[in-house]
A and B are shown apart, each in its own frame.
Chain A
Amino acid sequence: MRTNKSLYVVLAVIVLAQGVLHGGFLQKFWGKNYSPGKSGVSAELSPDQIILQLFGFREFLAGILWVRADGFFDQGNYDAVLPIIRLCTILDPKQIDVYATGMWHIGYNFTDEDQRSDRRYVPSALALGKEGARQNPNTYEMFFETGWMWYHKIDDDYHQAVRWFQEAGKRQDILPARRNLLTQAYFRNGQVSEALDLYYNLLEAAEKRLKEDGQFGAHQQYATVENNLDTTLVRMVQRGWIAQHSPEGRAQNWYATGSYDTKPPFDVGFSAKATVLSDRVIRFEGTWNVLPIGTRVRVVLRDADYPRAKRAELDWDMTDSVSLDPPRNLTYMQDQLFVRNRRFNRKVDMSKDPTMYPFLAKKYIIEFYYNPRSAPPHIQDKFGYSGEGFTDSKFRNLEARPSVKFVPVGKDEKGNTTEWKLEPLTGLQQPVMYTSLEIDQDMVRRKGEWVDKTPVIKTANYREPAQGKEKEDIIMVPTLRAGANN
């Protein structure tokens, strides 16, 4: 056969046809439905790992690496675990365990000598959770884990926890008991009516499950939801929520005329003093007129110009990229000041961990913060769900935490929500206690004029405790019911 010109024409037509078929349909379809993930192969893989990966042994390689990470974890070599976690998620973005464990590890396990978390890692931990949720949109797990990070670790900005738990609840594989947690996130975000509605839905579902399956788990879920619903209804009445927010209550002005536990608002009488005892060792003292023990006032010490800092926290949701290296030139310390006998007194020693607290900036801010929405139930019985029964004559603040919720605005073709917008919760404020003090590097490091002089900064209303009057080993057991500032 001598080559025919028409063969070239046929060849050209087929080349064109395959190009159109591939570029126009196959590639897009494959990318959407069969791609193992958008992360790509990292340059961090060694040559042998790259070869294994190229030959399709991604899951196998991720498994080997994960076993190796487990070994490092047992040895306490936490720094070595981080890159392996990242590699595993790059190689096999469907390994939810790696995402969940990695997120927990990054968010919780890097601490100073006093077990204070290095919160500079938290944005990266969240970024890993977000990536895990994006890569595994069909299962609830990473949505729940990310919500838990907001709810438990960050314990603030509860609209974020609500959003993630809502998304987890939309997935069919969520465990029944895990749905319950959204109610608590609703409470903390001030969405009490939504929490009540959810309790009724959960009770209905639990009842149905109990009829179909009489196992212990079904009984337990039903009893838990029923008990929580009862308690919620009682609390909604006692805390004046129904009086303030039901149509009848508003129309007939029940809250103003009735007697509720949240009336009158309780003045917590906050005051604080910070004393720099030695280089990077600070004692925080102050007053908090709430007698029942258990209050924890948040203290933050950070660079005055820390990027994307907010009041008494960071913009935790600041990034979508996972960085294994926190900003080592920045200082951010966050701790809880435990209140007993209406005072707090805590020495914070940052001198042993210079990588966590480098103190390279010239100016710093010390912030004190308390959010009644984070309070335990027995305190909220007085303070109310959203701080209705809470006040501070000096430091009550309505701007620090706006009362908001996320509303879905965009969905992908599979019906998963991809975009949200923030909306204010109408008729609901979020009063918190917030104040800040300024301090400079010389004071914290006890340099310059502060070598022999003890730096002390305090709020204007701070009063020293009377000597010997309040012994720390005696805990007074009081009540807030009376509403008196005794």
Chain B
Amino acid sequence: MENIKKSENIVFEKPRLINDTPMHYCPGCTHGVAHNLIASVIDEMGLAETTIGIAPVGCAVFAYKYVDIDWIEAAHGRAPAVATAVKRLSPDKMVFTYQGDGDLAAIGTAETIHACNRGENIAIIYINNAIYGMTGGQMSPTTIVDMKTATCPYGRNVALNGYPLKITDILVPLEGTCLVTRESAHTVAAIKRTKKMIRKAFENSLAGKGTSIVEIVSTCTAGWKMTADQANKWMVENLFPAYPPGTLKDI
């Protein structure tokens, strides 16, 4: 047993900044992985003492419970406005928002677009699972056509509900953005790539290059009513065609 604990034998360990609070996220949910990646990047870049996170409303409202940095929990959708002031008032800090699709692409659309358009030197981590998880699985702006949710029980009907909002694509032509990328976290390769992009977003913020957005196409096992494995497969087959992973802008 003691042999196993030797440092040369350790192949994986919990990031230093992730504390021991039991996470409330469902098994198979992408939030846990995304939290781990952010915590690792902050630690690896030596930013634990200078990072301020802005938490959203939604399942990740409790992000502040799990990553041991300073946090401000924003009202629904307002994280980019909150982050704008935090960064402008303390330009030497690393400031990032962590938001879901309801928060960022519905109620917070104006704050998202204007923070990006001003080129605020912040990173936006955008978890897109096409559903409102925290409130029980209602339709979100990114719910895909025909996808069933609590508020579109017969599937998203374009005539009734309009089209899925590809907000990340809208952020590309804004002159204030420097990195707009869509990632996922369902395979080891995807997780490694996502981590690389989060790091790049953080580096851009510190270098004053403008706003970086890392969308992570994610799963919601409870909202989709699937197992973790089913959810990952469904995401690849159904969400990826609407939200194809890949870097949309990197300057």
Task: Report if A and B associate in a common complex.
Answer: no
